[in-house]
Structure 1
Amino acid sequence: MDNKINSLTIHKLTERTLIENLKPFLFFGGLFVALSLLVVIVFGPEEDGLLVNLIESLIYAKLAVLVHRTVLLKEKDVIHAFKWGLPEIIYMLSMVAVMIAITLIVFVTTSLFLIISPTGLVSGGMSVVTIVFFSGIALLAGYFGSRIALAFPSIAIGQSFTLPEIWHKSKPHTLTLFWLIIIFPILANIVPAAVFLLPFPEWLLGVLVLAIYAIIVIYCITLLSHCYHEIMGEPEEVIDSSNEIEV
């Protein structure tokens, strides 16, 4: 696509898609909440170990793949929610790989910064130089994240775009992608935090937060799908469903 994508247009497309696919999205969101609650019940609300994080990542990956394929491939049958295959595994491993890469980059750059400027972190707060440094790191991470995020819809639908291709095609849309994929989700996730101000029992607040989070995730993934469609074009190749395991 030669024309730059428009933020308002992407949001309108996203809203229309949510309305058109309300039933499957409600089912997928309900399943996401139910599985997330099951993890909390089995492992406890305070547990944050490797196994729990992997399970939660897999649940998120399943929801993301379902939404991407609903938007881009028109797979509206809820039976797909009970099929697991390569897209979910690759999607989850890609998320983990990105998180590890970002963590390593932040660790290395922070270590170098502390070697060069050992007084950057001062007692009782951070210096101006430190604030500027970490703000720059955050912006740089967001920049790279927004440019390669289109790889995830590609993985979900089994399309064979490489990272260099995605990087090249996303270049004209950098600022819009940064807003839609990085800034907007961050602002949207303020909403669940505000729920804790309500005078409800703790268990009910937990369920409400999960439900709102599911809505936000579905919206943001749908939005990412439309960004992918507008920039990368119509899907041509898809993962063969025979590779999936029905549960």
Structure 2
Amino acid sequence: MVSSNALQYLLNLWQLMEEPLWESLYMVFFSTLFSVIIGMPLGIILVITDKGHIKENLKLNQILGTVINVMRSVPFIILIIAIFPLARLIVGTTIGPTAAIVPLSIAAAPFVARVIESSLKEVDWGVIEASISVGASIPQIIFKVMIPESLPSLVLGITLTVINILGYSAMAGAIGGGGLGDLAIRYGYQRFQTDVLIATIIVLIIFVEIVQRIGNYLAKKVDKR
């Protein structure tokens, strides 16, 4: 039997973690959504403008690739500070989960672009060539051939993106982003409450495990091979 003191302790711990947990889920969901909206077109452009592809444009490909590489090379903790003015312009503040979504989305978008690029490049060129031979347009090739053919890889890539954004969101807590990272720093580090720190780590591990399992399941479901 669990004692009443232990139950009360767990209840207090949950009350402390409940709001930061929802803040983290809120940040991760919308940051993933916006990063995919930004990153997917970039990834598609990287693929179709590559040498010998359906819309070859090496100059555009090289410029876009360089911009993405530069964005990926900037550490997130520096990027979030650099984007403070943009966050203030968009949401009116630089503090809190909503403000953190702006740098989270921008930081994750180049990663998403590379994930999309890698997945689409796995599509057998013979399948694309066959669609060209029957007169398919570029949008048809992209949305009816390339994306469906690479869907399992895309699902796993987006799953990895969600997990990465969760890590980014924890770092955002260090500078006022809220969420579980903020809780771990304020209570686990600054107030030396090790139990809160450990509880936060356990919740993050569980979250990652759930996301990965869901991603693996969905990837298998959409794999028609």
Q: Give the alignment's TM-score, normalised by structure 1.
A: 0.29
Q: Which has the larger radius of gyration?
A: 2
Higher relative contact order (CA 8 A, sep 6+): 1
Larger helix proportion, structure 1 or 2? Answer: 2
Q: Give the alignment's TM-score, normalised by structure 2.
A: 0.31
